[in-house]
Chain A
Amino acid sequence: EPEVTQTPSHQVTQMGQEVILRCVPISNHLYFYWYRQILGQKVEFLVSFYNNEISEKSEIFDDQFSVERPDGSNFTLKIRSTKLEDSAMYFCASSPGTEIYEQYFGPGTRLTVT
């Protein structure tokens, strides 16, 4: 069964550094998403992406964040200058874009900013 994959599983970085989180969505899916979950808190929507552009983003997704689909298979989330409060689990999801738009999640990348 096709799965969403994410790399790395765990990323440790120093405050102020740039990080890129990578995702490979399910191959025939059309919509892609990033969510984050700070430990012990609710899952929060960051951004959705369709047809090579952002379709929706939250207040969290400020100028420090960007997304890209560089080669038709990967979907990346870049954080330009990480802050301590960016430490969280980052989930990528994809959706086939059918009526229900159900989203299938990857295993997550744990980002630790020190």
Chain B
Amino acid sequence: AQTVTQSQPEMSVQEAETVTLSCTYDTSESDYYLFWYKQPPSRQMILVIRQEAYKQQNATENRFSVNFQKAAKSFSLKISDSQLGDAAMYFCAYRSAHQLIWGAGTKLIIKP
């Protein structure tokens, strides 16, 4: 069975700085999809970025980018120029068939 691990329960970063959130996963599949979701205090789950495992190029969405290392089964999220609105829980998720398997989340604190 697939598992997703986020080893950082909490991270903090100074506003305008860069922060990297880590995620590792375990799978025997060769084709799969990975996602990062953001959950602000409102608790709505917001899709931040996605990565197809067959693509070698790392996905980017504005200030958000990933470092996808397929052999190492690592999928980290880099947030550049951190803003106060980035403060939230961040969840890494692996798509298995039609379900998402979730990590435990990392709480990101932005220091003004």
Contact = CB atoms under 8 A, between A and B. Distances in A.
A91 B39 CA distance: 12
Contact of B100 (A35, A107, A108, A110): A35
Interface in B74-112: 91, 93, 95, 97-105
Contact of A105 (B46, B52, B105): B46
Contacts of B99: 33, 45, 48, 56, 58
Contacts of A13: none
Given A100-B33, A102-B35, A102-B50, A45 B100 contact: yes
Nearest to B51: A100
Contacts of B50: 100, 102
Interface residues of B, number: 23
Main secondary structure of the interface of B (DSSP, over half): strand
Given A42-B103, A101-B33, A107 B43 contact: yes
Interface in A84-110: 89, 91, 93, 95, 99-108, 110
A6 B96 CA distance: 25
A93 B99 CA distance: 11
A42 B91 CA distance: 9
Contact of A50 (B33, B52, B98, B104): B98
B45 A105 contact: yes
B98 A101 contact: yes
A63 B102 CA distance: 24
A74 B30 CA distance: 35
B11 interface: no
B97 A56 contact: yes
Nearest to A107: B44
Contacts of B52: 99-100
B33 A42 contact: no
Nearest to A102: B50
Interface of A: 31, 33, 35, 37, 42-45, 48, 50, 55-56, 58, 89, 91, 93, 95, 99-108, 110
Interface of B: 33, 35, 37, 42-47, 50, 52, 91, 93, 95, 97-105
